[in-house]
A and B are shown apart, each in its own frame.
Chain A
């Protein structure tokens, strides 16, 4: 044997382990989804019988859709994620711009506070937030589900770091050309931070699409409940453990995110790489 490293022909035990590990993890990850797809598209008789020729059906979806007001839940969730993302982008780009480009007293202390927000588990604040929403008279509104997340420390931090990498001369040039501070943000900083914005948007939308515990606590009616809460109520109160219908409902609620990710997979991965979010 020679001492050359020949990655493709020589047997490499570590490489083999990596491949096996990756496949194993992927399999464990995909199994629940695969099971959900299996049961959702087959009659309930085949919930635990896996034969290749089992008859396919869409009836489960129809029954699930009619069993609970999913249309309303969809609307609520879409309203919620749109509102949260819009508010986050507006508030956090303004804050990040100030942290990145202005000098003002207390700047470092304020930024440290923003960073501390990153370290606090949102669940710790459930009770406090509920009391606040009560005081504001917002209990059981869509606004109340989103409000605690508007000023995202993560978004401020991420955008500040991105803004700081933008060359100072671009800033100077835009000001000489007549930009106001807001014009500068709009015409130079935000367009150049687009990959970061896109990556953050994906994280934010998927997080709030899937968020469960806070919406469960703050909502109590069909008009406000997002999909996750609606789904859990559907799954528990529908008494009978009809897996085929529950999995059909689950697929319905997660389908938009799944389809969206498959469609824009390349763009998402690229902007994650560019934005340095992992």
Chain B
């Protein structure tokens, strides 16, 4: 049932997707500013950001459904930004699945092959294989309206897979599914991508999807790239205050430096970041001590989130759910190795936390350029 290898046309095997100087301006607004990023062959890249950040526009530029105002897109050595979508050697899965309601499942899956005039025998063989792989063999004669959301999703995936194209684009494909199904499909899509060696470009606003599936996350904000990194690096060393405040549930505490006068920080650091789970109460250890008032407690079962007030700022603290009732004030330690420093422009400065995750910095720089 599972095929471990497959062959792609020679000219695109091992082809990275390179975007350089990409801009997109609409009549009333600029959607993308100077996007430069390389999405490596065979890897799962996620474009992550809040709604309106330009991630879907970027995906549509790659697909050829929109034309860039300026800039280039390369797939391997071939420049593809002026080609129509069908000449770009990629497949796409849409948020609404975009199944053709007048065609049955088999015809939907075979739509692209039939358009391109693939021989009938070849079509049948590929349909058989892909339907078996996606668990759709019994549903081939049904119309999309007679399928559940999860089945429709599989048909959309099958249509992308059967094209046997090396690059697959996905635009929030899981957002219409319920939570349980979404968790299953995350695993399935990731497995599919690895099994087929697809170069995946996946758009989402859901950081859980990004963190669990991606080899590499491209965080976008207001039409610009904030950071490109692996999920672990992104979490350990956010390059900007935006990323620090976006990644993590709850996200990193970002505290004005004046609120923590006792802290040893570089002169140009204006904001100090620390993750809620790194703040340790009532324990001895390295790092300055702060006294905070307990404002609110959210009990979540395994964890509880404590909102604390320190002078002029609030601080979120994650404790295990087993900790008992809390006193009105807490003495906290902010471990030196967990601190992140940001300058006035919101960029990361060399921080003590770099030491706890040393390989990340060079990795980032290498890929971001």
Contacts and interface: CB of A to CB of B under 8 A. Distances in A.
Interface in A159-197: 167, 169-170, 172-180, 183, 187-188, 191-192, 194
A177 B65 contact: no
Interface of A: 167, 169-170, 172-180, 183, 187-188, 191-192, 194
Contact of B63 (A170, A176, A178): A176
A247 B9 CA distance: 72
Given A178-B86, A178-B112, A172 B102 contact: no
Interface in B63-100: 63-65, 84-86, 90-92, 94-96, 98, 100
A176 B102 contact: no
Given A169-B94, A183-B115, A175 B102 contact: no
Which of A169, A172, A177 has most chain B Cβ within 10 Å?
A: A177
A116 B249 CA distance: 59
A176 B100 contact: no
Interface in B33-70: 60, 63-65
Given A167-B98, A169-B98, A170-B100, A176 B111 contact: no
The binding surface of chain A is classed by DSSP as helix
Interface in B285-305: none
Contacts of B60: 172
B159 interface: yes
Contact of A169 (B64, B84, B96, B111): B96
Contacts of A167: 96, 98
B155 to A, nearest CB: 12
Given A176-B91, A177-B115, A191 B102 contact: yes
8 contacts: A167-B96, A173-B98, A174-B111, A176-B85, A178-B116, A188-B100, A191-B100, A191-B102
A176 B90 contact: yes
A177 B159 contact: yes
B100 A172 contact: no
B26 to A, nearest CB: 13
Contacts of B112: 177-178
